[in-house]
Every structure is written in C-alpha cells, then in structure tokens.
Amino acid sequence: MIIDFLLSNFEIFIFYSILLIIFAFIFLFLLQLQNFKSNKESIIQYAESFNNTYREIKEYLVVVENLLENQKKEIMNISEKIVFIEREINRLGNVKGSEDILNTAINMVRQGNSREEIITQTGLREDEVEAIYTYYKK
C-alpha cells in the first residue's frame, strides 16, 4: 500500500526533493554571500587599522629623526666647544710653561750664570737669552 502510494506519486516526490535541494543550495549560497560580505568588511577594517598604524609610525619616526638631527647638531656644537677648550688649555699650559722657563732664565741671570748655561738648561733661543740677560743683569 505504501509502496503503491510511493510509486504512484514518485514523480511528485522527485520533483519536491529536487525543489528542496535547489532551495537548500540557494539558502547556502545566500549564507555564503552574507559570510563573504562580513569577511570583506572585517578585512577592510583591518586594512584601515593597519594603514592608520603605519601613518602613526611614520609620523613618529619623522619626529624621532628630527630629534636625532637636533641632538646631532648639539653634539657637534659641544664637541667644537670641547676642542676649543682643549686648545685653550694647551695654550695656557704652554704659556705657563714658557713663563716657568723665563723665570728660570731670569733667576739664572741674577745668579750670574753664563748665556750658554741658560740656553742649555732652558732651551731658549740665543736672542731670547740675550734680551733677558740685558734686562735682568745686575
């Protein structure tokens, strides 16, 4: 009986089965399309977020570059000042050293040492010793 009913309405069952399968495919297609749109929107949001982060990093690096450039200029100025101070210290040391040598030469002249002795002990030139000798001789 059931078999007779199924066989007599076989074409109708097949038709409804095919319709059910088609509607199921259409439903799955629409779900997949909705899922695709959702994924597309999230990918666009991630890309925008990445782009914003990239811009912020770029701006930060530009600021850091400017700071480093300013620090480089400051370091160059400081190093120039250090070189100048070193030259001044060396010059003052040379002046102090020459003052000591001149004082030694003057004391030797006052003690009555000869010109040759003064030249050998102080390393002064002969004309310098002559001027000291002339001026400070008793």
- What pLDDT score was predicted for residue 25? 96
**For the chain, which ranges sit under pLDDT 50?**
none
3-state SS string for the chain: CHHHHHHHCHHHHHHHHHHHHHHHHHHHHHHHHHHHHHHHHHHHHHHHHHHHHHHHHHHHHHHHHHHHHHHHHHHHHHHHHHHHHHHHHHHHHHHHHHHHHHHHHHHHHHHCCCHHHHHHHHCCCHHHHHHHHHHHCC
Q: What are the pLDDT digits (tens) for 60-72?
A: 999 999 999 999 9
Kindly list the domain boundaries of the chain, sorted by start residue: 40-136
- What pLDDT score was predicted for residue 132? 82
